[in-house]
């Protein structure tokens, strides 16, 4: 999942400064993107639901800054396959019972036959209705947008000061 922040005036300023001193701009913007990725990571983790184990939350991390193809990027991500249905929700499907039993035990404090019975009810509900999305990546991206734009402005301010030979 990608969250893009498009600000024309910020992109124009980046382009102008990049034309003057690409290495300086890349260095300063990379520092800003690293800071922004850490902020995004924190916000996504705070919004990520957990069953009590925290596997999904623990798998989320900031991505390193990458350069290539005329772009510079960073962000936060997870490698767990089930993150996408947690983010977006899922269509009705037959969910495996074992993880549901574990969830019922941890979240609802049910045990034995009662845990199995409740897990089956959850399984049937998922088979009929699917699951709702939690939108933790989307919502985190929207929440940090003003702070992220401010970080990029400061990075470009630092780059401009360095280009002009002023103290940052």
Share of the chain above pLDDT 90, in %: 81
Where in the chain are the domains? 8-79+135-163
Residue 138 pLDDT more than 70? yes
Largest pairwise CA distance in the chain: 73
Which pLDDT tens digit goes with each residue over 74-126? 999 999 999 999 999 999 999 999 999 999 999 999 999 999 999 999 999 99
């Amino acid at each position: 999942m990608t969250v893009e922040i498009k600000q024309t005036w910020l992109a124009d300023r980046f382009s102008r400064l990049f034309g003057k001193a690409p290495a300086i701009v890349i260095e300063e913007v990379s520092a800003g993107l690293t800071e922004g990725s850490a902020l995004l990571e924190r916000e996504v983790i705070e919004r990520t639901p957990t069953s009590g184990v925290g596997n999904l939350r623990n798998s989320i991390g900031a991505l390193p800054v990458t350069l290539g193809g005329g772009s510079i990027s960073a962000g936060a991500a997870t490698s767990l396959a089930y993150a996408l249905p947690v983010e977006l929700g899922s269509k009705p499907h037959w969910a495996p019972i074992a993880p549901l039993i574990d969830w019922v035990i941890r979240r609802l404090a049910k045990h034995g036959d009662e845990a199995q019975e409740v897990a089956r009810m959850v399984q049937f509900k998922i088979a009929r209705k699917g699951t709702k999305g939690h939108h933790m990546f989307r919502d985190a991206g929207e929440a940090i947008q003003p702070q992220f734009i401010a970080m990029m402005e400061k990075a470009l301010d630092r780059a401009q000061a360095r280009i002009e030979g002023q103290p940052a």
